[in-house]
Every structure is written in C-alpha cells, then in structure tokens.
Amino acid sequence: MTNLQAQISELKDLLQQSTKTTVLTGAGISVASGIPDWEMMNNSFDFVSQDLLQRDPEAYFTEFHRLFIDPIINNGPSVAHQVLATLQQQKRIDGIVTTNIDFLHQFAGSTSVANIWSSININHCLDCGRIFDFEILRAPIPHCPVCGGLISPDPIFRHIATLPDAKAQADAWMTASDLTIVIGSNGYYSKTSSNQVVNINPKPNVFDKQSLLKITASADDALAELTNQLAL
C-alpha cells in the first residue's frame, strides 16, 4: 500500500464515522481544469478591476475568456469536482463551501454549495441591473439582451467581496459538522469543524497545524483514490 493509499484509507474511515461532513475548497481543486490560481491570474492582468472592465471591455474580456472562461467551457469540472458531486448525491458529504468563483461544483452536479465570493453564474447589466446566468459570458463582449448595457460578472462587480448569505450558510454548515475536508484552499475562508479536519494539499498551508490528517497530494489524485476505495 502506498502512502497515499494509506492516507485515503484513513480518510475513508473518518468519512464513514462522520455524521455531517462539510467540504471546503479553494483554487487547488480547479488547477486540473486549467484555471490559474488567484495570484497567477492577478499577475497576468487586473482581474478584479471593475474600472478596467468598464474602461476597456474588449481588453478585459479577451483576457478573462483566455484565462478563465475558455478553460471552464473546454475542460469543465475536474475529477475532484465530479467525485464530490457523486459523494454529495450519495449523502456521504453534506455542504460544499468554496471561495472559487468558477461555478465548477455546480457544473459537476453539486447542489448544496456556498459560493462565498459569489460566482460567474451571476452577472449584472451595468445599465438596467438585470441578472443573467453563465451563458451570457459566452459572448466575446457580453451585453444585455434587453437594454444593450455592458455585463459585469458579480465577483468582479463586488471586487470579490464576501456574500453575507453564503458566508452565513457556510458558517452554519461548519458549526454543525463533525468533519471538514479542506481541498486546495489557501485559507481565504478559514472556519472549519472544531472537531476534525482533513487537509488535502500538495503544499504546506494554514490548515496544517489543526489537521488530524494531512494528505500531501493533488485534489484529483486524492479523490480518484478515494473513489477506488469507496468503489464508487
């Protein structure tokens, strides 16, 4: 048995003993879908700038599509997103809390997801205020079909501010759970179950100290092995 297999076996036991498990995900779960993490994206262009979006929509959306929307459309959810959706459908895990705005948990079929920084499935017309889902972002420069106004993805519109309702939902799930599985998170949201934390991340991170179990692997490798062991 490899080290990863032994660690996933331990995770499987914890999962089976848990009465309520909440999963916390960050950029690491979307790397395999080709989505750059926060710092990489910001190094490339001022991704969170509503000013840039309004000043030069063509430049903004060209980069936004290249770095973000194209990988979502072309690659879709990662193995890890898909395994979590299956685990949720089978009631082996409960809510999923994410700081990711890519909406890939829902594209994989998950339903109980707290998008605490909102997501690209909410988009505002900057002129009339109407809201549109992800589909409108397929246009090279998205405009409102009703009034012609420029469209802004909600996370950019808010400058990645926390959504109070989603944060309250996330906190409630964490408080009620006896196990938290943290996957690829840098700790931008850091509340976990006070009981047990399993931390899946190939690198050291802020959850290491409080983790009962640290699994040093990518999200896809770890959850593919969990799939094998649970015979999903």
Q: Is 148 annotated as a binding residue?
A: no
- Give whichever of 59 and 131 is closer to Zn ion, judged by the CB atom: 131
Contact characters 184-203, Zn ion, x per CB under 5 A:
--------------------
Minimum CB–partner distance for residue 55 and Zn ion (Å): 19
Ramachandran angles phi, psi of 12, nearest 5°: -60, -45
Is 41 marked within a binding site? Answer: no
Phi-psi region of 116 (alpha: psi -120 to 50; beta: other; left: phi over 0): alpha
147 assigned ligand-binding residue = yes
Query: In the bound complex, what is the minimum distance in angstroms from residue 148's beta carbon to Zn ion?
Result: 7
Taking the least distance from each CB to Zn ion, the nearer of 108 and 136 is 136
Question: What is the footprint of Zn ion within residues 116-135 (CB under 5 A)?
Answer: 125, 127-128, 130
DSSP3 helix / strand / coil % (the chain, rounded to 5): 45, 15, 40
SS3 218: coil
Residues 6+ apart with CB under 8 A from 94: 20, 21, 22, 88, 112, 173, 177
144 lies in the site for Zn ion, by CB under 5 A: yes
Residue 112 and residue 93 in contact, taking contact as beta carbons nearer than 8 Å? no
Question: Binding to Zn ion by residue 149, rule CB under 5 A?
Answer: yes
147 binds Zn ion (CB under 5 A): yes
Question: Which residue's structure tokens are 């707290």?
Answer: 114
Which of 108, 144 has the CB closer to Zn ion? Answer: 144
- What is the nearest approach in angstroms of Zn ion to the Cβ of residue 157? 14
Using CB atoms within 10 Å of the CB of residue 60, give its burial: 0 to 12 exposed, 13 to 18 middle, 19+ buried: buried
Q: Which is nearer to Zn ion, 149 or 202 (CB)?
A: 149
Half-sphere exposure of 7 toward its Cβ, with a 13 Å CA cutoff?
A: 19
Residues that bind Zn ion (CB under 5 A): 125, 127-128, 130, 144, 146-147, 149
Annotated binding residues for Zn(2+), as ranges? Answer: 125, 128, 144, 147
